Amino acid sequence: MDELDFRSIIINMEKQRAKYLKKIINTKPIKIIRPARTALVMMSVRDSFNLDFHLGEVLVTDAEVECAGHRGYGIIIGEEPEKAYIIAAIDAICKDNDEIFKKRLERFLKFQKNINDKKTIKEQSLIEKTKVQFQLMPKG
């Protein structure tokens, strides 16, 4: 799962698929160290002058778990306790030596990435239809 960015896959998956993934994960002995909780964090970005700009506070959800002696941490923008838990659990599982389980997760996540990619392409094609082509507009 090294080449997969499982966090972005989970962030973009639908809630129903996340519930299914949680069932798969819960077949492992996951111990909740800190349950999912929401918080506000300051979001900083770089402006066009390469200086830090504080955009404002962003609501996030984070969680911390343990699996087979390995700790995992998950954080996600918004109020998403289930996805924060899933990210934390996969983070811990990735540190374990259970290669069979990791392969099972990897198959699921690759399939989900394909679903996410198709959804993104469809959304982009819908957005593309709304773009104005200024060079074709009559000059007035």
- pLDDT higher than 70, residue 138: no
- The dihedrals phi and psi of 51, each to the nearest 5 degrees, come to -110, 150
Name residues whose C-beta falls within 8 Å of residue 15's C-beta, 6 or more positions apart in sequence.
82
Rounded Cα distance, 22 and 124, in Å: 29
Binned at pLDDT 50, 70 and 90, residue 132 comes out as confident
pLDDT in tens, 72-109: 999 999 999 999 999 999 999 999 999 999 999 999 99
> What is the CA angle 78-121-106, rounded to 5?
65
pLDDT in tens, 16-74: 999 999 999 999 999 999 999 999 999 999 988 999 989 899 999 999 999 999 999 99
Binned at pLDDT 50, 70 and 90, residue 3 comes out as low
Neighbouring CB atoms inside 10 A of 94's CB total 17
DSSP string across the chain: --SS-HHHHHHTS-HHHHHHHHHHHTTS-EEEEEEEEEEEEEEEEE-TTS-EEEEEEEEEEEEEEEETTEEEEEEEESS-HHHHHHHHHHHHHHTSS-HHHHHHHHHHHHHHHHHHHHHHHHHHHHHHHH---GGGSPP-
- The dihedrals phi and psi of 137, each to the nearest 5 degrees, come to -75, 145
